[in-house]
Amino acid sequence: MGIPFEDGNFSLFVRGFLGTIELSALSALFAVLLGVLLAAFRVSPVPVLRTFGTAWVTLFRNTPLTLLFFAVTFVLPRLDVHISSFTAAVVALSAYTGSFVCEVLRSGINTVSLGQAEAARSLGMGFGQTLGLVVLPQAARSVIAPMGSVFIALPRNSAIAGAFNVFELFSVQKTLTEKGYAIFAIFFWLALAYLVISFSIGAVFNALERRAAVAR
């Protein structure tokens, strides 16, 4: 049962765990950037950008992540784009998660009632002030919970990268399975690792939610 503490498996576990963390953290960062950009496109008054945003979100929300990984791994090199497996995984995960982030942000902005923004504008606030002081703070409240589930899903989804030559926890599972350890014992330790990750993220978002709830 103590697999991580036998013949050098500990370093394997640590490497896998860090691989998952690194991949998830980087993808989260880019997913937020991309999501904000796409959301800006989708709520902008420019039809071309709106269409582009909608098309992007439709494409990436309805494509399986595994297919996306497959495409990034085997299609990009054919387009003469050469990136490492890790970078490819970050690209796939960010493009996928970014479209979910965009949808959460957009529906959050849409929950703010029209009168709020109109009132802000009639007070003479500019676009930046309206957005920053009135609309976004109110949108944030309804965004935090769904955003939390998007980011709890991210490390879970990152496990697929293990099938595409990125070393993370799924790779650890495959390696140990090959070494012939009991499959459910391996699963136990991996489950523990993922529970730690998802509870930590959950805790962060719960704290955020509490703060936002107070700020009414």
Q: How many residues sit close enough to other proteins to count as binding (CB under 8 A)? A: 69
How many other CB atoms are found less than 10 A from the CB of residue 139? 20
Rg of the chain in Å (alpha carbons) = 21
Candidates 21, 36, 131, 140: give the one binding other proteins (CB under 8 A). Answer: 131
Map tokens 């297919």 to a residue. Answer: 67
Residue type, 78: R
Residue 9 binds other proteins (CB under 8 A): no
How many Å apart are CA 45 and CA 47, to the nearest integer?
A: 6
How many Å apart are CA 32 and CA 11, to the nearest integer?
A: 31
Stretch that binds other proteins, among 8-16, 26-34, 52-60, 207-215 (CB under 8 A): 52-60
Residue 166: what are its φ and ψ, rounded to 5°?
-115, 135
The string of DSSP codes covering 102-164 is HHHHHHHHHHS-HHHHHHHHHTT--HHHIIIIIIHHHHHHHHHHHHHHHHHHHHHHHGGGGGG
Q: In the window 57-76, what residues touch other proteins (CB under 8 A)?
A: 58-59, 61-67, 70-71, 74-75
- The CA–CA distances, whole Å, from 130 to 44, 51, 54 equal 15, 25, 24
Q: In the window 150-169, what residues touch other proteins (CB under 8 A)?
A: 152, 155-160, 162-165, 169
Q: In the window 192-211, what residues touch other proteins (CB under 8 A)?
A: 194-195, 197-199
Candidates 12, 91, 135, 144: give the one binding other proteins (CB under 8 A). Answer: 135
How many Å apart are CA 170 and CA 76, to the nearest integer?
A: 24
Candidates 15, 22, 121, 206: give the one binding other proteins (CB under 8 A). Answer: 121
Interaction mask 81-120, other proteins, x per CB under 8 A: -x--x-----------------------xx-xxx-xxx--
Kindly state the smallest distance separating residue 121's Cβ from other proteins, in Å: 6
Instruction: Give the residues lining the site for other proteins (CB under 8 A).
Output: 43-49, 52, 58-59, 61-67, 70-71, 74-75, 77-80, 82, 85, 109-110, 112-114, 116-118, 121, 127, 130-131, 135, 152, 155-160, 162-165, 169-170, 173-174, 177-178, 180, 183-184, 186-187, 190-191, 194-195, 197-199
